[in-house]
């Protein structure tokens, strides 16, 4: 019964995705009867193999497709499938058919009880945890940009490390913003929630500043000003350490570091190193802006006027609309349909194999397949490796516990601690979550007297469970990253075009409407550039990859990021830029080059041709990097716009694969 309660709680945890109390209650009201009916159906059809396979295929496909209606219903559908597999694991002949469903549903109710206590006594705790993770990621990113003061840095490696954290920061920021906006839109407002929102906005401002803090010291500067560079490095480390500790609860008790920025700026740099010191001075200025932002954190929360509210996706209960929405997705062009089809085939194939081979604890195969399956090959492959690594490490610890014959009185503590750590890591570090759930399973089965029997079945079924979905992801449009990269590049270029057009309009008429529109386009550029780098990360996660293709995707990502950094600096100074004939001509030139580039990409989205022509210009593009990255810090706004036009023209020349 204890294991069933725990498994029911885990399933309910996967179904609990809303940040709004009334929507969470609605989700629980849907999940509880669904959990009971699904597990009851498993108990009824379990002895009848053909009926079992057929009903699993139909029901699992329907539950997967719930994601078409709303993300929350998709989470409930996923949790219901997981609960069905748990019911298979717990099935025992001779028990009343209602017993396991009651225990599993009772476990879900137990989860709801503890969540109700958490909401009452620790309101917004999940949002606070995400915010803490966000500030820690910002601290790491700031430390990476600081490496140029101490170490000889590889610019490519610096870009990769920074972009990885940029991607993580974007994910955390968007997740937290969506949670807060859900609560605002539903009337759940409070001083603490306003404070969290204020912290989020400051974090986004700090992140934008770090985009302009790339610094690599030259040998001359290191030789001429070693103490100055050391002082800048020390200031950055102090601020980074403060950032890593920041939370809504402790900020008023946390002492701000004492940094004398005026002393850093007044340092006498030798005449021969003056030009090379410009980038370091720019770094100090950005660090000062970040420091001032951190000072704002200590201010008392003030009411936020007119926050941009994103209405939660709420299901309309008009059956005609629901049916229309579902039927419109019944095509292989739909990612929802492909994922549901892969999931259904994986689960039914796994069930057939388990029944034919009569595997011990065979339903772990289905659970593994469900948990590692993702919308494309790259994500599935990464999840597969994490699952295998977590399972093997967990089994190594289990073998140690068995060897030393851990006392039965300790097992309940292992069981509870592993369950808590699983919940804590499941959304952040899947490999760790698998490790803890392996210990959880061992402790649970050991309490039932079956601990000695789980090691080999656990490993065998994990291996089988990762192979089956991988096969179906390969068969059903795997979504190779290299093939879809030209499309993502085209989307990114379109974002830059929209921004430059909007920027030109803004310079002509600097009113509130054009300012908001410009900022919207700028945020889109940031998202598209991050997605471009994530494409490269996804390519690295695929089982078949070519080092040269990887370099070409990374090359485009770096070129895009340089364009974005120029736009960031221009966007920051937009109020001081006055439109004249020269600026307008440069903006039109840059926009025209981008339009040409987008047309070229749309004419031939063949990845082979794209990478072949990039290969011919690879050395030329890399040569332009050093010049442009160094010049960003030296130029005024007008010269920056001219540099932007030049960089885009160089990028167009490299990507242009029309016959010469």
The pLDDT assigned to 428 comes to: 73
Distance CA 489, CA 614 (A): 13
Q: What is the pLDDT of residues 435-450, one digit of tens each?
A: 998 888 888 778 777 6
Name every residue whose Cβ is closer than 8 Å to that of residue 157 and which is 6 or more positions away in sequence: none
State yes or no: pLDDT of 627 exceeds 50.
Answer: yes
- Note the pLDDT of residue 341: 94
User: Is the model's pLDDT at 312 over the cut of 60?
Assistant: no
pLDDT value for 153: 62
The residues, ordered by sequence, that sit 6+ positions from 48 with a Cβ below 8 Å of its Cβ are none
Percent of the chain with pLDDT over 70: 91
User: What count of other Cβ atoms lies within 10 Å of the Cβ of residue 94?
Assistant: 4
Domain boundaries, the chain: 125-299, 331-479, 481-655
Quick one: angle between helices 155-185 and 512-540, nearest 10? 120
How many Cβ atoms are within 10 Å of 242's Cβ, its own excluded?
20
- State yes or no: pLDDT of 308 exceeds 60: no
Q: Which two tokens stand for residue 544?
A: 């078949």
Q: Which residues contact 582 (CB under 8 A, 6 or more apart)?
A: 638
In angstroms, the CA 475 to CA 192 distance is: 49
Check the CA dihedral 200-201-206-211 and report its sign: positive
Tokens of 555: 């090359």
User: Virtual CA dihedral for 222, 227, 230, 236, nearest 10 degrees?
Assistant: -110
- Give the CA distances from residue 62 to residues 16, 22, 54, 81, 99, in Å, rounded to whole numbers and listed in that order: 19, 25, 13, 10, 25
Mean pLDDT on 424-428: 77
Give the per-residue pLDDT at 123: 85
48-69: pLDDT as tens digits = 989 999 999 999 999 999 999 8
H or E stretch at 321: helix 319-327
Residue 390 per-residue DSSP state? H
Give the gyration radius of the chain's Cα atoms.
28
Per-residue confidence (pLDDT) for residue 393, from 0 to 100: 92
The region of weakest confidence among 229-233, 286-290, 457-461 is: 457-461
pLDDT digits (tens, 9 = 90+) for 118-140: 888 888 888 999 999 999 999 99
Tell which residue, 87, 67, 80, has the closest CA to residue 28. 80
511 has pLDDT over 70: yes
Asked if residue 322 lies in contact with residue 316, where contact means CB atoms within 8 angstroms, the answer is yes
C-alpha to C-alpha distance for 65 and 59, rounded to whole angstroms: 10
Q: How confident is the model at residue 519 (pLDDT cuts 50, 70, 90)?
A: very high
CATH number for the region 481-655 comes to 1.20.58
Q: Is the separation of the CB atoms in 289 and 209 below 8 Å?
A: yes
Q: Between vectors from CA 639 to CA 638 and to CA 641, what angle results, nearest 5°?
A: 70
pLDDT band of residue 309 (cuts 50, 70, 90) is very low
- pLDDT (average), residues 161-176: 90
């Amino acid at each position: 019964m204890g294991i069933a309660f725990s498994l029911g709680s885990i399933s309910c945890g996967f179904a609990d995705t809303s940040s709004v109390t009334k929507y969470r209650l609605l989700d629980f009201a849907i999940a509880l009867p669904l959990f009971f009916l699904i597990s009851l159906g498993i108990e009824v059809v379990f002895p009848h193999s053909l009926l079992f396979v057929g009903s699993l295929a139909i029901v699992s496909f329907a539950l997967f497709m719930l994601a078409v209606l709303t993300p929350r219903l998709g989470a409930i559908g996923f949790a219901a499938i997981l609960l069905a597999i748990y019911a298979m694991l717990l099935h025992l002949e001779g028990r009343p058919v209602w017993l396991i469903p009651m225990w599993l549903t009772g476990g879900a109710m137990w989860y709801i009880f503890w969540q109700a206590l958490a909401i009452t006594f620790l309101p917004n705790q999940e949002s606070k945890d995400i915010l803490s993770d966000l500030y820690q990621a910002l601290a790491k990113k700031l430390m990476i940009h600081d490496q140029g003061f101490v170490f000889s840095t590889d610019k490519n490696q610096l870009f990769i490390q920074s972009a990885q954290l940029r991607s993580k920061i974007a994910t955390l920021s968007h997740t937290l913003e969506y949670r807060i906006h859900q609560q605002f839109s539903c009337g759940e407002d409070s001083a603490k929630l306003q404070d969290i929102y204020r912290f989020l906005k400051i974090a986004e401002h700090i992140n934008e500043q770090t985009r302009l803090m790339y610094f690599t010291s030259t040998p001359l500067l290191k030789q001429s000003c070693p103490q100055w560079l050391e002082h800048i490095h020390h200031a950055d480390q102090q601020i980074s350490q403060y950032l890593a500790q920041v939370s809504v609860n402790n900020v008023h008790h946390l002492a701000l570091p004492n940094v004398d920025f005026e002393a850093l700026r007044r340092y006498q740099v030798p005449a021969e190193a003056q030009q090379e010191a410009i980038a370091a001075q720019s770094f100090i200025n950005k660090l000062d802006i970040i420091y001032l932002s951190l000072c704002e954190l200590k201010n008392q929360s003030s009411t936020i006027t007119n926050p941009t509210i994103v209405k939660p996706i709420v299901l309309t209960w008009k059956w005609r609309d629901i049916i229309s929405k579902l039927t419109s997705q019944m095509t292989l062009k739909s990612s929802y349909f492909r994922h549901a089809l892969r999931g259904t085939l994986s689960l039914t194939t796994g069930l057939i194999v388990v029944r034919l081979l009569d595997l011990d604890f065979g339903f772990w195969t289905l659970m593994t397949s469900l948990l590692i399956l993702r919308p494309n090959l790259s994500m599935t492959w990464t999840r597969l490796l994490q699952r295998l690594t977590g399972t093997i490490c967990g089994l190594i610890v289990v073998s140690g516990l068995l060897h030393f014959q851990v006392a039965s009185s300790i097992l309940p503590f292992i069981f509870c601690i592993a369950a808590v750590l699983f919940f804590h890591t499941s959304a952040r570090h899947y490999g760790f979550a698998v490790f803890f759930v392996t210990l959880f399973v061992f402790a649970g089965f050991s309490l039932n007297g079956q601990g000695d029997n789980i090691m080999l079945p656990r490993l065998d079924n994990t291996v089988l469970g990762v192979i089956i979905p991988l096969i179906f992801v390969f068969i059903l449009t795997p979504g190779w990253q290299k093939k879809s990269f030209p499309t993502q590049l085209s989307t990114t270029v379109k974002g830059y075009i929209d921004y430059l057009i909007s920027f030109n309009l803004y310079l002509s008429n600097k009113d509130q409407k054009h300012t908001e529109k410009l900022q919207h386009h700028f945020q889109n550029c940031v998202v598209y550039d991050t997605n471009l780098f994530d494409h490269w990360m996804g390519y690295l996660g695929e089982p078949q990859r070519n080092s040269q293709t990887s370099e070409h995707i990374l090359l485009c990502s770096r070129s895009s990021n340089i364009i974005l950094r120029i736009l960031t600096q221009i966007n920051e100074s937009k109020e001081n830029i006055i439109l004249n004939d020269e600026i307008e001509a440069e903006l039109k030139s840059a926009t025209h080059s981008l339009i040409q580039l987008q047309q070229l990409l749309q004419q031939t989205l063949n990845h082979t041709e794209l990478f072949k022509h990039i290969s011919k210009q690879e050395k030329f593009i890399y040569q332009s990097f050093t010049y442009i990255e160094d010049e960003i810090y030296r130029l005024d706004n007008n010269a920056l716009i001219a540099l932007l036009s030049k960089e885009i023209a160089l990028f167009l020349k490299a990507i242009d694969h029309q016959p010469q």
